[in-house]
Structure 1
Amino acid sequence: MIITNNEKVYDKYKDKTNIIFVQGGFKDVLVKTRDKIHEGHELLTHPLSSSVKPNETPFKSVMISDDKRSLNLDSLYIIENSIMTYDNFSKHKFGMMTDQITEDFKLIDLTVLESALNI
């Protein structure tokens, strides 16, 4: 399952895999991912993967298991720490972005996700 706020990711994978589109920002994706982990899903990709810092991009895609099991404490630890890291970085917000910069960040997020998928 993919949790994303990136339209490029959603449009490309909506017919291929279970995907949740989050209306909101980077932190909203992290919070939705945490909620799913509490339901028994496990992280398949790290929520802070890539060299782009959380305060540098508004887009994020995270892969989690489709199936539910018991609460995975490793996944919970990683997502909780990712949210705390986001909160620390978010004190330094990114500035206004042009449409081209926004599209570039969407493409970066898609590329990072696809590297995890080995596409």
Structure 2
Amino acid sequence: MYKDTYLEILKESRNLIHKGYELLSHPMYSSIKLNETPYRSIILKKSNKLDTNSVLLIEEAIYISNKFQNNKQTPNWTYNVIDDFRVIDLDILSNTLERIQYIL
């Protein structure tokens, strides 16, 4: 159903961070468990150096995501529940982008 899993997105984000991108959003935001939601957006920006804080955050997110998935896989949610997760992610993403505009 989904093109990429959250773990795959985290790993691709890590690859980009090692190529000079920086995290602008925390990869583990919200109180929704990592293995419960099919949606969790990550915001990155191109930087001219390796951001060690971004490396540490993304590595921790990968470790914790693996741990959660090993304990319990993401449920096969109904369309309505999936749509609710999508709306929550969009709301958090919108608020994060609004906050970031003030920083950049």
Q: TM-score, normalised by structure 1?
A: 0.75
Aligned CA-pair RMSD: 1.6
Aligned match of 1:104? 84
Residues in 2 aligned to 1:82 and 1:95: alpha-carbon distance in whole angstroms: 20
Deviation above 2 Å: which 4+ runs of structure 1?
A: none
Residues in 2 aligned to 1:70 and 1:94: alpha-carbon distance in whole angstroms: 35
Aligned match of 2:65? 86
Given the alignment of the two structures, is residue 77 of structure 1 paired with residue 56 of structure 2, yes or no? yes
Q: Which runs of 5 or more structure 1 residues have no equivalent in the other structure?
A: 1-5, 7-22
Percent identity (aligned): 33
Tell me the number of residue pairs that the alignment of Structure 1 and Structure 2 aligns: 97
Decide which structure has greater helix share: 2
Which residue identity is paired with 1:70? K
CA displacement 1:55-111 (0-9 Å, x = unmatched): 11121210111x231111110010000000101111212322111011111111111
Residues in 1 aligned to 2:27 and 2:68: alpha-carbon distance in whole angstroms: 14
Given the alignment of the two structures, is residue 41 of structure 1 paired with residue 21 of structure 2, yes or no? yes
Q: TM-score, normalised by structure 2?
A: 0.86
